[in-house]
Amino acid sequence: MTEMTAPGEPGAEIQIGSFKIADAAQSDTAGMAFVLDQMALRPAVQTLKAWALEQLAPVAGETAVDVGSGTGEDVAAFAELGLRAIGVEPSAGLRAEAVRRWPDSKAEFVDGLSDKLPFDDESVDVVRCERVLQHVDDPAGSVREMARILRPGGRIVLIDTDWQTAIVHPADPEVLQRMVASFLAEAANPYSGRLLRGQLADAGLEIIGESASTWLEPQSGAHQGFVSMMHVRAQQSGAITAAEAEAFAQGIVEAADRGAFHLSLTMYAVSAVKAPVA
Ligand SMILES: C[S@@+](CC[C@H](N)C(=O)[O-])C[C@H]1O[C@@H](n2cnc3c(N)ncnc32)[C@H](O)[C@@H]1O
């Protein structure tokens, strides 16, 4: 799934980047870090991060792994609680950014991929993986890999978006349908949110909880952010014309001026445990 990788001030040129690791060479670190920072401010994201921490119940001295750790915020939080905290992040730029951001932390950041984690079998107490599986080609294999490194009694939380839950108003329904279809077609795993529960169960883990949180974009979002990403990208891919993109952009900005713009997107979270040895 592509995500906007530049501030995108009204009128500014918008660069579209990607968190898909195959595209990493073209994605600039500052842009990716900007997007992650914007996301981390959203109440819906904060709600699920807090839920995950509660479900994982980390204990000082345990080992925690965050798969696809981005700028490292969640790894630093584990380190702060006295755990051995390791972020697995394939983007060298984001690993360097995480080290720069958390200089006093004991958090570690290592290279690796979700489907080939650099840890021994059953060597980890806690695993989290947030908004990563939508970008990977083998999400089910990645979850099996996370289950492999988890010790019996170990806990795991997966969080991800389901892009079919995106609602935008106002928009010509037919144009919106083409925009969403083009958006879904280029994502590695756009329906990730709904699949998490089954992926954990299929990996032999016992589900202990689930949650969801809906992102409600503020009115200012009509000028920049996701919505710009959607119509700019749809136009770039040829799914909508320049005139349709402009009409869409104008329609949502006019709606926002009278407080009538709506954009929402739902993220899901599931927690599980690896059965302890009897
Ligand atoms: C949307 S960001 C989420 C970052 C972080 N988990 C957070 O909550 O802010 C997705 C992250 O997944 C990483 N990523 C992409 N493909 C990956 C893979 N196959 N294995 C591990 N991480 C991956 C990206 O480099 C990026 O840091």
Q: For 143-185, write each residue's pLDDT tens digit.
A: 999 999 999 999 999 999 999 898 999 999 999 999 989 888 8
Q: Write out pLDDT tens, residues 178-190.
A: 998 988 888 899 9
pLDDT of residue 24: 62
The whole-number pLDDT of residue 26 equals 62
pLDDT of residue 35: 85
- What pLDDT is attached to residue 48? 98
Among 3.30.450.40, 1.10.3720.10, 3.30.360.10, 3.40.50.150, name the CATH number for the domain at 2-161+188-213+268-273: 3.40.50.150
Q: In angstroms, rounded to a whole number, what is the distance separating the alpha carbons of residues 260 and 144?
A: 44
Ligand 1 binding pocket mutation candidate from 109, 132, 149 (most atoms within 8 A of CB):
132
pLDDT of residue 254: 97
At residue 244, what are phi and psi to the nearest 5 degrees?
-65, -40
Task: Determine the pLDDT at residue 225.
Answer: 75
Residue spans of the chain under pLDDT 50: 1-17
So what's the pLDDT on residue 187? Answer: 85
d(CA 223, CA 261): 11
Cα–Cα distances in Å, from 13 out to 132, 228, 229? 27, 10, 11
Using the atom order of ligand 1, give the atom closest to the CA of residue 89: 22
Query: According to the model, what pLDDT value does residue 186 have?
Result: 81
Contacts of 163 (CB under 8 A, 6+ apart): 1, 134, 180, 183, 184, 187, 190, 191, 265
Protein residue whose Cα sits closest to atom 10 of ligand 1: 132
Instruction: Find the residues whose C-beta lies inside 6 A of ligand 1.
Output: 19, 21, 36, 67-70, 88-91, 94, 113-114, 130-132, 135-136
Instruction: Write down the domain spans for the chain.
Output: 2-161+188-213+268-273
Q: Which atom of ligand 1 is nearest to the CA of 94?
A: 27
Q: How far is the CA of 273 from the centre of ligand 1 (A)?
A: 22
- pLDDT of 184 reads 86
pLDDT in tens, 214-243: 999 999 999 877 787 789 889 999 999 999
Which of 3, 5, 19, 145 has the most ligand 1 atoms within 8 A of CB, as the residue to mutate?
19
